[in-house]
Structure 1
Amino acid sequence: MADLSIRRGSGSTPQRSREWDPFQQMQEMMNWDPIELMNHPWFTGRQGAATFLPAFEVKETKDAFIFKADLPGVDEKDIEVTLTGDRIVVSGKRESEKREESDRFYAYERSFGSFSRAFTLPEGVDGDNVQADLKSGVLTLTLPKRPEVQPKRIKVGTTSTGEKKDQIKA
C-alpha cells in the first residue's frame, strides 16, 4: 500500500504525502515470489521444499508407446516401474542434499521428495517386453505393441491386364 503521512495542524485534514499511483500500488500488491510461495509449508502440505514432480513425454509410434521422464539427480535404485493390467506406474524419489547450518542460500529453487505418476494404457501393450533405461537423467520406457494390434500395410494392386484383382471373375 502507499505510504500515508498525517499532518496535524490548525484544522487541516489528513493528506497523502504523494499522489496515488495505481501502477505503483499494483506493483506493491503483486510483489510476491512464486518460488517462495511453493516452499511455504501450507502449500506443500509439509515442512521443507516443494514436492518433486518430474515432467513426462508420452508418444506412440507404429510399434510401441514411448515414455520419457526428466529425472535429474535421481539414482536408478530409487526408481520403480510397475505394470499391472493396463496401468503403468512410475515412482521414485530424489533425495535432498545435506545442508549445513553455516550455509547461506540466496536462492533455493530445486525440489526434492517422492513422486508417483500413473498412466492408463490403451489395449495391445506387450507387457512381457517392456524396456526401461535411465541415461543422463532421462528415464525412457519402451512399451512395445503386440503384433496383432500393430498396423498392417495392405498392398493395393492390379492384374497384368489392368483389371483390379477383386473384379476378376472366376
Structure 2
Amino acid sequence: MADLPVRRGSGPSVGRWNRGFDPFERMRELMGFDPFEQVGRMVGGQERGLGFVPAFEVKETKDAYVFKADLPGVKEGDLDITLTGDRLTISGKRETEKEEDSDRFYAYERSYGSFTRSFTLPEGVDGEHCSAELKEGVLHLRLPKLPEMQPKRIQVSGTDTSKQGKVKA
C-alpha cells in the first residue's frame, strides 16, 4: 500500500498519478464538465467530485416498460418516484457516511448526494397499475401498457391456390 496516496478526512479527492498525458482521461473530464459545479466551487470554496449518478436500464416488453436502477445504499424512504402525464421522474439521495478526522483513506471513489432522472414515456402507460420495489440495492419499476396499446395478433386468411378443388370461403 506504499504507492497509494493517503486522504484524510473530507479534504480534496485523491490525486491522480501523473504518468503522462492520457487523451481518454482528458476527454472524460471534458465530457463531465459542469459549469454550475464550477460556480459552486468558487462560491462555496470546496471541491466536490461528481455526485451520485445511478445507472439505469430501461426496456420495453410486450405489455410493460421496465426500469431497473442500481441504488446501493439508498433507503426506501429516500426515493421519490412520480409519473406526471408522459414524464417519469425518479429522485433520491445517498447519505454520506460519517468520517472521523483520524480516518485514513487509501482510495475514495464512492459518491454520495442527491440525484434526479427524468424519462419521457410513449403514450399508453397505465399509470394506475405501476409498481416499484427496492430489493438488494436495485430498484425495479414496472409501468404496464394500457390494454389498447398492447400488440394484438391478427389472423391472416387467404386462398391457397396450390390445392386442387374448391376453396372454402
Q: Shared fold (TM-score greater than 0.5)?
A: yes
Partner of 2:9: none
What amino acid sits opposite 1:54 in the alignment?
Answer: P
Question: C-alpha separation between the residues in 1 aligned to 2:85 and 2:93?
Answer: 24
Give CA-to-partner distance per residue, 1:46-70, whole Å, 9 cap, x none. Answer: 5344200001000000000000000
Partner of 2:131: 131
RMSD value, Cα: 2.9
Partner of 1:21: none
Partner of 1:14: none
Q: 1:92 to 1:58 in 2, by over 3 A?
A: same
TM-score using structure 1 length = 0.69
Question: C-alpha separation between the residues in 1 aligned to 2:52 and 2:118?
Answer: 15
Partner of 2:6: none
Paired residues for 1:80-159 under 5 Å: 80-157=80-157
CA drift at 1:154: 1.6
Q: How many residues align?
A: 134
Q: 1:29 to 1:102 in 2, by over 3 A?
A: same
> Equivalent pairs: percent with the same residue?
62
Question: C-alpha separation between the residues in 1 aligned to 2:107 and 2:123?
Answer: 46
CA drift at 1:117: 0.1
State the structure with more CA Rg.
1
What amino acid sits opposite 1:97 in the alignment?
Answer: E
Paired residues for 1:40-79 under 5 Å: 45-46=40-41, 47=46, 48-79=48-79
Give CA-to-partner distance per residue, 1:70-123, whole Å, 9 cap, x none. Answer: 001100000000000000000000001000000000100000000000000000
Q: Are 1:163 and 2:154 counterparts?
A: no
Q: 1:162 to 1:119 in 2, by over 3 A?
A: farther
Question: C-alpha separation between the residues in 2 aligned to 1:112 and 1:156?
Answer: 56
TM-score using structure 2 length = 0.69
What amino acid sits opposite 1:66 in the alignment?
Answer: V
Paired residues for 1:4-43 under 5 Å: 27-30=19-22
CA drift at 1:157: 4.2
**Structure 2 residue matching 1:141: 3-state secondary structure:** strand
CA drift at 1:45: 4.3
Which blocks of at least 5 consecutive residues in structure 2 are unaligned?
Answer: 1-17, 160-164
Question: C-alpha separation between the residues in 1 aligned to 2:19 and 2:146?
Answer: 58
Q: 1:127 to 1:162 in 2, by over 3 A?
A: farther
